[in-house]
Amino acid sequence: MSMMRRTTLQKILLFVFGLLPLVAIGKTFQVKEIGLLTIDSAITPATFDYLDYQFKNIPSDSLILIKINTPGGLISTTKDIISLIGSQTKPIVVWVTPEGASAASAGALIASSAHFILMNEGTSLGAATPVGLGKDLSEKDGRAKTLNDLKAMVRSLCELRGRPSAPFEEMIETAKSFTSLEAKKLSIIDGIMIHEGKITDLLRSKHFSLQGEDFTLDFEASPVIKEYAPTLGQKILSVLADPSVAYFLFLLGLALIYFELQAPGGYIAGGIGLKLIILAAIAFQVLPLNWGALVLIVIGVILLILEIHITSYGLLAIGGLAAFIAGSLFLFHGEGGFISIDYPVLISTLLGIGFALAIIVWYVLREKKKQPHHENFFLPLGSTGVVLNCPMDSLSFYQIKVRGEIWRATSQEHLKLHDDVIVTLIDKEKLIATIKKVTKE
């Protein structure tokens, strides 16, 4: 009886101890596709838009491999990307590549949030001390507060990913940077990889946590490696999102709006200035990308409508078409998005508008050739307008609006406000029109 009990106890212990390792390993995450993304610029809102958009397009049974080479970027955008990575149901690998590349500052923080980190030979990781306006943050700028916040964030991420946090805290506190070999010795990366085809050998059977569940990584015999490149709109946004470019657009937009207020009537400078302000607001993250893109489309439509009522010789239409194109590229990314329009449809629409503009230009040029004096083509001779302001004394001039333009004018007749007038003569040197009242039959 005692021997039977001992045998039964041995079987139970063998079963329990044999089962525990399997429980600890958890589920297997089978990778059928490796989605390849590339960050090769500063971390800006364009980077977040690119990752957010492509994460949704990559199948659920995939591993996301992000090739990164960045000098850093905006802390606010970096935190958005870290939250985005944390919300995914697919494992994410950050790979610092090619040789000579670095994941500095914001890039190092993003790497700390990934499930796995790989580095190419001759690369570096670190230098994550935040700076402001070209200098180290001073105490009055809240240096201690910023550093402690970032250090606590990487500690939490490293605990979650099972990697030591001390080296990452050094990157933030003292701007420490590590080579691939140093990072490997410190166990803050999962391996050194020269070619993406070696990823299966490096990460097979690795354990990781995903949305609170433990998984073991496994790959099919030959997983598909598919590259997900940024769309045309995201490439343009990446250029505009550069802080220097965004600031220049903002100042130029303000200058054009000021010019419009000083010399009203044409709406050309004001329309272009408003578009530049919207682009700068998107780049500064003051205005969300989708809302900004929608505003650009609305501005484009308004400018196209104004072209019908105001003689700008196609300038308003060209400005409206440019705003419409920019807004469409930012709002509609193409295939796979939640709200998307195929590029052939978008391009055909824009070509249709461009063709209509070409007809208008052709008509204007044809009419210009009919004029006996080409130098008078852009002058409102013979055009009708309306009186906007009457002179207060004999030294003042009438102010009229003709063909969407504001002109100073003189008249031999006494005119009243809102009278319809016709331009009979123009002093080209002083730009003063001679007008007379339109006789209504």
pLDDT digits (tens, 9 = 90+) for 303-336: 877 776 666 666 777 778 788 777 777 776 544 3
Token code pair at residue 225: 């490696």
The better pLDDT of the pair 398, 23 is held by 398
From 358, 363, 410, 362, select the one nearest 387 (Cα to Cα).
Answer: 410
d(CA 410, CA 393): 12
CB atoms within 10 A of CB 107: 28
* Per-residue confidence (pLDDT) for residue 382, from 0 to 100: 81
Q: Report, in angstroms and rounded to the nearest whole number, the Rg of the chain calculated over CA atoms.
A: 33
* Per-residue confidence (pLDDT) for residue 334, from 0 to 100: 46
In sequence order, the 6+-apart residues with CB closer than 8 A to the CB of 345 are none
Tell me the torsion sign for CA atoms 415, 416, 422, 423: positive
Per-residue pLDDT at 372 exceeds 60: no
The model's confidence at residue 431, banded by pLDDT at 50, 70 and 90, is: confident
* Per-residue confidence (pLDDT) for residue 364, from 0 to 100: 64
d(CA 320, CA 252): 18
Specify whether the CB–CB gap between 402 and 376 falls below 8 A. no
* Per-residue confidence (pLDDT) for residue 4, from 0 to 100: 57
* Per-residue confidence (pLDDT) for residue 341, from 0 to 100: 52
Q: How does pLDDT run across 135-193, given as a tens digit for each residue?
A: 444 455 567 788 889 999 999 999 999 999 999 999 998 989 999 999 999 999 999 99
CATH number given to 384-437: 2.40.50.140
Buried b (16+ CB within 10 A) or exposed e, 64-89: bbbbbbbebbbbebbbbbbebbeebe
* Per-residue confidence (pLDDT) for residue 137, from 0 to 100: 47
Ordered by start, the domain boundaries in the chain are 25-230, 233-370, 384-437
Per-residue pLDDT at 231 exceeds 60: yes
Mean pLDDT to the nearest integer, 81-90: 94
- HSE-up (13 A, CA, CB side) for residue 354: 10
CATH number given to 25-230: 3.90.226.10
Backbone angles phi, psi at 156, to 5 degrees: -65, -45
Q: How does pLDDT run across 219-228, given as a tens digit for each residue?
A: 998 889 999 9
Q: How does pLDDT run across 97-123, given as a tens digit for each residue?
A: 999 999 999 999 999 999 999 999 999
User: Within 178-227, where are the H helices?
Assistant: 180-185, 199-203
Host H or E run for residue 407: strand 405-411
